[in-house]
Structure 1
Amino acid sequence: MKIFVLLWLFVIASSQGDNCPKPELPAPECSDLVYRVLNDQTRSVKYNGNRHKCDYTNPPMNLPTNVSPDWQTPGWYRFEEPAGTILPMSPPCQGCCGTAQTGWTMATLPARQYERKDIPVCFHWRNNVCFTRTQAKVTNCGSYFVYYFVNTPGCNIRYCGITQK
């Protein structure tokens, strides 16, 4: 009788297991072993000084470069203070963020934890809020977001940061 009851419980538990929600697996890019940190204060939309920084590695030899101190290569990045905590979702002022062309996105942030989205990134220059553009990715890591950024289209172009409210 005990064997029959145990077998019956196993069958019931197995048949109901398909309806149980499966736990979401963390996105690997949320690990601090994967992402790099963007925390240079001149990256903040509040900064209006030097306008020559860029998020661009390996520029052509004949161009002067002033690569951002917190930029390394294309990859996953997390914004941290004093740079801000997210990429702005409206155009920042032209010439702020320590660069000439200021990076922002018109996309919304992913709402669910570990959700990833492809987003456009625009760079504001002169009277055109999307003078140059590129693609990026953003992942919701719960209490913060990480972005996959590529090299900007040239120098004096940079991804800006703003503090999320």
Structure 2
Amino acid sequence: MAIYALVLSTSERASSISTTTTVGSASATTASPQCSSSPVTYFQYTTITPPQCLNYTLNTDATRNIGYTSSINNCDNTVPFSNTTSVWIRFQAPAGTLLASSPVPPNYCGTVVTGWYAGQYPSPVFTTATSIVCFYYATNTCSSCASISVTSCLNFYVYLLPQPPSCNYRYCTL
């Protein structure tokens, strides 16, 4: 299996913030993404079909589409988003097929705090991009964010999405 990696950034370079947690004599350092509407996107390419292109959860919820307007505050805090580990998700009509790739104003896609993919979509097929989803709240288009991965499969994308930071946060599709 051949794997290739490439890092691309848009106009503004995103950095990360490190947090060190100490318990007794052990410590661990983790990096959280710095929220930016122009983050760095990391790409990894393989020549074989990645397992996530074959094993994913399908989501067809029409209320998460950017064309759905409502003041109802749906949350992505239920399965599959509430799992302790992230799962690969494929969006399909009537939900839409892609995460929104530009800011979605509040009260669209069935929630108040709307999530949109701020990175670059992967290409060619079997490439995985790692970047962030921004959450639009009030007037801030990237008030908080989460690291995600997106894989380009044969004719669709799958997303590795963590549970959003709080209720009323939701991933929006188009």
TM-score above 0.5, yes or no: yes
C-alpha separation in 2, matches of 1:51 and 1:121: 21
Question: Which residue, 43, 49, 70 being the options, matches 2:70?
Answer: 49
Check if 1:76 corresponds to 2:88. yes
- Cα distance, 1:101 vs. partner? 0.5
Report the residue type matching 1:83 in the other structure: A
| Alpha-carbon RMSD | 1.7
Q: Which runs of 5+ in 1 are unaligned?
A: 1-22, 57-66
C-alpha separation in 1, matches of 2:82 and 2:90: 13
Question: Corresponding residue for 1:148?
Answer: 160
Query: What per-residue deviation string (whole Å, max 9, x for no partner) do you get for residues 58-78 of structure 1?
Result: xxxxxxxxx48x756331000
**2:133–2:148: 8 Å Cα contact kept in structure 1?**
yes
Q: TM-score, normalised by structure 2?
A: 0.69
- Cα distance, 1:134 vs. partner? 0.5
- Cα distance, 1:55 vs. partner? 1.1
Higher helix share: 1
Check if 1:139 corresponds to 2:160. no
Question: Which residue, 109, 112, 135 being the options, matches 2:121?
Answer: 109
Check if 1:90 corresponds to 2:102. yes
Question: Corresponding residue for 2:52?
Answer: 29
Q: TM-score, normalised by structure 1?
A: 0.72
- Three-state SS of the structure 1 residue aligned to 2:133 is strand
Check if 1:159 corresponds to 2:154. no
Q: Which runs of 5+ in 2 are unaligned?
A: 1-45
Report the residue type matching 2:52 in the other structure: E
Question: Corresponding residue for 2:21?
Answer: none
**1:42–1:98: 8 Å Cα contact kept in structure 2?**
yes
C-alpha separation in 2, matches of 1:146 and 1:107: 14
- Cα distance, 1:28 vs. partner? 0.3
- Three-state SS of the structure 1 residue aligned to 2:114 is strand
**1:49–1:98: 8 Å Cα contact kept in structure 2?**
yes
C-alpha separation in 1, matches of 2:123 and 2:82: 28
C-alpha separation in 1, matches of 2:90 and 2:50: 14
Report the residue type matching 1:29 in the other structure: Q
Structure with max Cα Rg = 1
- Three-state SS of the structure 1 residue aligned to 2:126 is coil
Question: Which residue, 85, 98, 112 being the options, matches 1:100?
Answer: 112
**1:51–1:96: 8 Å Cα contact kept in structure 2?**
no
- Cα distance, 1:95 vs. partner? 1.3
Report the residue type matching 1:25 in the other structure: I
Question: Corresponding residue for 1:118?
Answer: 130
Report the residue type matching 1:146 in the other structure: V
- Cα distance, 1:51 vs. partner? 2.6
